[in-house]
Each structure stands twice: as structure tokens, then as C-alpha cells.
């Protein structure tokens, strides 16, 4: 009997140990680092997604919002490359070398290390640190952080596999330029030049490549970081015909009606206070003063824009479905956002030479084929004020419409209680790099990496918010400043000081409570003079600490892009020609 008891005890102990091993394996599997998919739209307006108040069909991103956490007070730079530098490094754009986009630099900026226009070697990207952690790292889409030297390309900045377009933008149907700044458009795969396929459409191609990269390493069961950087909805605004046709007639009432409709919906969703005011942007035209033909054209132009957003969402849906098909969806954290607010530029209005360049490049603006291959489309300032609605200003400017964009985090890292909710705390683009690193259970090395001095991260991880331990990571006394092209802002708690240069702005500092007044309608500078002065002093210190340079009194960022193009493509070749003669 004792022998039998010993035997039974031994068997029970073995079973218990096996059970513990089994649970340990399950726990180990559960603890596997999550995949991270970072999706970046280009020039997307604050209220473009239905989950942010829009009328455009965006079911896949809306589902991510339903399963995730939406941020209603998230801010970026008002221009693409500075945002991308901060997104991938957690470092202020000036200190990362991207104080301005390369295409718009002034002569004085061109000689400053804070304005290289490419990502400095004194910052370490999240891709590098995730790769060190054992992640596969992939990048597909727009880069815009330097490429002329091989060391600047993403394949040498921590990404294991890449396919990228290095410029501020490009045609979405063909391998050709959208601005005279670029003699040709190059695409690179793993750092080497490639030719795009005949059936290229940017949103589809970028997702095709993202899927291809993910599938290439599935067997080793390592987690992956996939940076998916769309061209949508940067100019030229182009979309497949079937997507545009869904929206024909939808915008016949014009930009004012659309802006009011979105304002109402944004309030209903609780993204801004119900009593928040909204003012018109000074560059918005009178819709009723247009001819019927002009109204028809502008309406279709906006329909193409909506179709481009819709097509982007549909391709994001393909990526999501693929992750479900291969069993990786449930272990994938998605972060979706935009690099800045809506784009208001109408290149033909900025330079009278631009239509001549379009003719030379065989672009057209015909109504019947608007947005299709060979078409050059843009929505202009009036509809741009609607897509950022109910906010003010737009891309390039430091109003909320230029800086505040959608941001969604969805996936297994999110506390279940937060699913489908909105976080209203102030957050900033620099916060995403430390968030991504914490998701991967790693951290930034600080001021030194592999024996080399580097810039420390100045953003704050959003994981305390995502895990439902805190509602905010920025305290009421924290300050975060921003500048590009002479337009500037500084945030402190619920408040923001803002300066925008003429002609869109007035060149004067203003103070707003952007929580109660996101439309920036009530200037508090005279009512709160001490706060106003304190914030201006903090901004002056930011300028000193980050090498911010003044711009000429007549500087206009968009016009500078064209002026630089003329210099590179016309003036310098002529000077070189005559220097050879004499």
C-alpha cells in the first residue's frame, strides 16, 4: 500500500510539473513581443475618417478605432519631413536635422546642421533599436529624410527590407515627378534603384510590398515592425475611377456646407466640446460666387480626394485581412496617424510658370479624367479648410488644422476598458517613438549608442495611457514647442501660443485654450498676460536650444519650393554653361 501511495504521489507530481510546463509555455507564448504596424497617411485632414467625423468611407480604419483608442488632441509638425524625423526618433525635428523640408530651405538654413533636410546621424531610429531587439523591420512608401548618400537611406537607418520614394511626393500612377524640383523620380528597393511596375498605384503598391516583406520571414516566428507610409492624400490627388465615382455629387453644396457638416459630426462624437466655436479661414472663397462649371469642377476635385482616402483605407483593409489570414492579427499593434493636416496648395496659383511645366510634363486637368492617370489634381485652400474642419488653418501653418490630426492605437497592448473610446489629453508626435520602443519591451539608450554620442528622446511614452494607468503623460507645466518656415507654436497644458506669418496669418502671437476652443476663436493674450509672457519666454528658449533660424520677411514656404526649383533646374545650369564658355 505505501508503495502504491508513493507511485500515485509520483504520478500526481509529474502531472503537476507537466501542467506547470504547459502553462509556462502558454505564458511564454503570450509574452511574445507584439508585431507593430505604423501606418502614416500624408496630408490627411482631421475629420477625414468617419470615426473622426467625416463622410468618406473608411470602414477599416474605423474598425481599428472601434477596437482601439482614438486620440482627439494629438499633434504633429505642419509639414511632412519634420514630422517623419520626430516620428522615427522621438527627437525635435531641428535637432534631428530636419528643421525644414529640404525643398523649402533658405540660403542661411542650408548652412545649418539643424536644417540638413535629412535625418542626422546623431539620432537613432526606432527601427534600429527594434532590429537590435530581434525584430524584423520593414519600410514601404514615402521616406523624405535623405537619400543622395547611401547612408541616409532607410536600409541603412535600421530597416531590414525597404522600398521607398525619397521625395516630398510623386505621381501615384507613374514613375514621374509632381514638381519641377525633381528632374526625375527615383524609387529604391533596399537602397538600389528600381523601376515601378506598369500597374502601379501608390496605395496598392505600398501595401503589396508590406505584405511581401512580412511574408518573407514568417517561418522564424520573430516579431516584425512594419512602417507603411502612404502617399495619400498628398498632391497630386489621384484615385482609381471606381473610387472617385462613389463621391460624384456628394460635394455639390461646396466647402462651407462640408465644413459645417463635419463640425456637427465631430461634436457628436465627443472629439471637441459641443459649445466650441468655429471661424472661417481667410483663404476660403465664396462658393456662391462661383459659376456652375466652377462648382462642378471643384466638387469632382473633392470627390477624387475622397476616393483617394477611400482607396487608402481599402488597401489598409487588405493588409489587415492578410494578417488575419496568417494568424498574426491578434498579436499586432496598429498605430495610424497623418504627418500633418490638409494640403491647401494650388501650385498654379503660386507660380505662373507651373502650368507651363505641367504642359511640358504632359499633365492635364481635364474634368472627365480628373484624378486618373495623367491628371494633376488638388483641392486647394477652400476645401482644405473643410477637411481639417472644424479646426483653423492647414498644412504649413501652426493653427490646429495644420498640427492636429487623427491618431489611433489598436491591438493587444490596449487595456480592454479603452476599446472604442477617445483620449482627449494633449499628445505629440515625439511621443510615438518611445511608445513603440516600450511596446517592444525595449528603451532608448539615452545619450550614447555603441560608443557614439546621440540625441536623447524628448517625447514621452503613451503606454501609461494605453494601459489605462493614466489619462495623460504631459503635465500642466510641460512645454512642447514647434517651428517651421517662421510659423510657430508652443503648448503648455490646455494652452497654446501661436504665430502664423502673412498672408494667411497676421504675424502676431496669440494665446488660446485649445481644449475649450480648438477652433482658436478667442485670443486670451490680454486676459492671461502672465501666462502669455511665460509661454513666449519658453518659446524663445526653445529657439535658442534648437538652433531655430529666422526667415526673410517675405518668406513663403510653398513659394520657396518653386524658387529653389527654378534655381536648381534653370539658374545653376545657365551659370554652369557660361562658366564653361568663359
Other Cβ atoms less than 10 A from the Cβ of 39: the count is: 24
Hey, what's the cell of 399? Answer: 493653427
| Listed residue (182, 558, 165, 104) closest to 361, CA to CA | 182
Quick check: 124 and 134 in contact, CB under 8 A? no
| Listed residue (84, 86, 120, 115) closest to 102, CA to CA | 115
| Listed residue (155, 182, 149) closest to 167, CA to CA | 182
234 noted as active-site residue: no
**CA–CA separation, 294 vs 383, rounded Å?**
13
Quick check: 563 and 353 in contact, CB under 8 A? no
The catalytic residue among 80, 94, 298, 510 is 80
298 noted as active-site residue: no
**CA–CA separation, 234 vs 170, rounded Å?**
9
**CA–CA separation, 280 vs 393, rounded Å?**
9
Answer positive or negative: Cα dihedral of 428, 433, 434, 435: positive
| Listed residue (1, 33, 8, 26) closest to 436, CA to CA | 33
What is the full DSSP assignment across 311-366?
HHHHHHHHHHHHHHHTT-GGGEEEEEEESSS-----HHHH-TTHHHHHHHTT-B--
Q: Which residues pair with 490 in a beta bridge?
A: 481, 497
**CA–CA separation, 392 vs 41, rounded Å?**
20
Hey, what's the cell of 140? Answer: 514601404
The residues, any chain, with a CB within 8 Å of residue 455's CB and separated by 6 or more, are 89, 91, 95, 96, 120, 122, 123, 447
| Listed residue (499, 482, 247) closest to 387, CA to CA | 247
Chain centroid offset of residue 269 CA: 22
Hey, what's the cell of 543? Answer: 529657439
**CA–CA separation, 114 vs 501, rounded Å?**
21
Quick check: 489 and 481 in contact, CB under 8 A? yes
The SS3 of residue 130 is helix
Chain centroid offset of residue 91 CA: 15
| Listed residue (514, 507, 412) closest to 463, CA to CA | 412
**CA–CA separation, 496 vs 479, rounded Å?**
9
**CA–CA separation, 40 vs 339, rounded Å?**
7
Assign residue 235 a region: left if phi > 0, alpha if psi is -120 to 50, beta otherwise? beta
The catalytic residue among 75, 144, 444, 474 is 144
Other Cβ atoms less than 10 A from the Cβ of 302: the count is: 25
Which positions are catalytic? 80, 144
Amino acid at each position: 500500500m505505501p508503495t502504491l501511495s508513493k507511485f500515485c504521489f509520483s504520478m500526481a507530481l509529474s502531472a503537476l510539473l507537466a501542467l506547470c510546463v504547459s502553462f509556462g509555455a502558454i505564458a511564454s507564448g503570450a509574452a511574445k513581443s507584439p508585431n507593430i504596424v505604423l501606418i502614416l497617411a500624408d496630408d490627411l485632414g482631421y475629420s477625414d475618417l468617419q470615426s473622426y467625423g467625416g463622410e468618406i468611407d473608411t470602414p477599416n480604419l474605423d474598425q481599428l478605432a472601434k477596437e482601439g483608442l482614438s486620440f482627439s488632441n494629438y499633434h504633429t509638425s505642419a509639414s511632412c519631413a519634420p514630422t517623419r524625423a520626430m516620428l522615427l526618433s522621438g527627437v525635435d525635428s531641428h535637432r534631428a536635422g530636419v528643421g525644414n523640408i529640404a525643398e523649402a530651405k533658405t540660403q542661411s538654413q542650408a548652412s545649418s546642421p539643424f536644417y540638413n533636410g535629412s535625418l542626422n546621424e546623431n539620432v537613432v531610429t526606432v527601427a534600429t533599436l527594434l532590429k537590435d531587439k530581434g525584430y524584423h523591420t520593414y519600410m514601404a512608401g514615402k521616406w523624405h529624410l535623405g537619400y543622395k548618400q547611401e547612408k541616409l537611406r532607410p536600409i541603412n537607418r535600421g530597416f531590414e527590407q525597404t522600398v521607398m520614394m525619397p521625395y516630398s511626393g510623386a505621381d501615384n500612377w507613374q514613375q514621374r515627378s509632381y514638381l519641377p524640383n525633381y528632374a526625375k523620380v527615383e524609387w529604391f528597393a533596399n537602397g538600389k534603384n528600381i523601376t515601378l511596375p506598369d500597374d502601379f498605384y501608390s496605395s496598392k503598391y505600398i501595401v503589396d510590398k508590406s505584405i511581401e516583406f512580412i511574408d518573407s520571414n514568417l517561418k522564424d516566428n520573430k516579431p516584425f515592425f512594419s512602417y507603411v507610409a502612404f502617399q495619400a492624400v498628398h498632391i497630386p490627388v489621384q484615385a482609381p475611377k471606381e473610387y472617385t465615382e462613389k463621391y460624384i455629387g456628394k460635394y455639390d453644396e461646396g466647402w462651407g456646407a462640408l465644413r459645417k457638416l463635419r463640425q456637427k459630426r465631430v461634436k457628436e462624437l465627443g472629439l471637441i466640446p459641443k459649445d466650441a466655436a468655429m471661424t472661417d479661414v481667410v483663404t476660403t472663397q465664396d462658393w456662391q460666387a462661383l459659376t456652375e462649371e466652377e462648382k462642378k469642377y471643384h466638387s469632382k476635385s473633392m470627390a477624387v480626394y475622397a476616393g483617394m482616402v477611400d482607396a487608402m483605407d481599402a488597401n489598409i483593409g487588405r493588409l489587415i485581412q492578410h494578417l488575419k489570414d496568417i494568424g498574426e492579427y491578434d498579436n499586432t499593434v496598429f498605430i495610424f496617424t497623418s504627418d500633418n493636416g490638409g494640403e491647401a496648395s494650388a501650385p498654379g496659383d503660386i507660380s505662373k510658370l507651373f502650368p507651363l511645366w505641367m504642359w511640358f510634363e504632359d499633365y492635364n486637368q481635364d474634368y472627365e479624367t480628373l484624378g486618373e492617370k495623367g491628371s494633376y489634381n488638388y483641392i486647394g485652400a477652400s476645401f482644405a479648410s473643410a477637411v481639417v474642419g472644424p479646426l483653423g488653418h492647414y498644412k504649413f501653418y501652426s493653427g490646429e488644422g495644420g498640427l492636429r490630426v487623427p491618431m489611433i492605437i489598436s491591438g493587444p497592448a490596449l487595456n480592454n476598458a479603452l476599446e472604442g473610446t477617445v483620449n482627449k489629453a494633449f499628445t505629440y508626435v515625439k511621443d510615438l517613438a518611445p511608445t513603440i520602443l516600450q511596446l517592444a519591451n525595449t528603451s532608448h539608450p539615452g545619450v550614447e549608442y555603441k560608443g557614439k554620442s546621440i540625441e536623447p528622446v524628448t517625447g514621452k511614452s503613451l503606454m501609461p495611457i494605453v494601459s489605462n494607468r493614466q489619462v495623460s503623460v504631459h503635465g500642466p507645466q510641460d512645454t512642447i514647442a514647434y517651428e517651421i518656415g517662421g510659423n510657430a507654436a508652443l503648448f503648455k497644458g490646455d494652452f497654446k501660443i501661436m504665430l502664423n506669418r502673412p498672408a494667411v496669418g497676421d504675424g502676431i502671437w496669440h494665446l488660446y485654450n485649445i481644449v475649450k476652443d480648438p477652433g482658436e476663436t478667442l485670443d486670451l493674450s490680454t486676459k492671461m498676460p502672465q501666462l502669455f509672457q511665460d509661454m513666449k519666454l519658453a518659446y524663445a528658449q526653445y529657439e535658442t536650444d534648437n538652433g531655430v533660424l529666422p526667415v526673410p520677411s517675405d518668406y513663403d514656404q510653398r513659394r520657396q519650393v518653386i524658387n529653389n526649383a527654378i534655381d536648381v533646374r534653370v539658374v545653376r545650369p545657365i551659370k554652369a554653361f557660361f562658366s564653361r564658355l568663359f
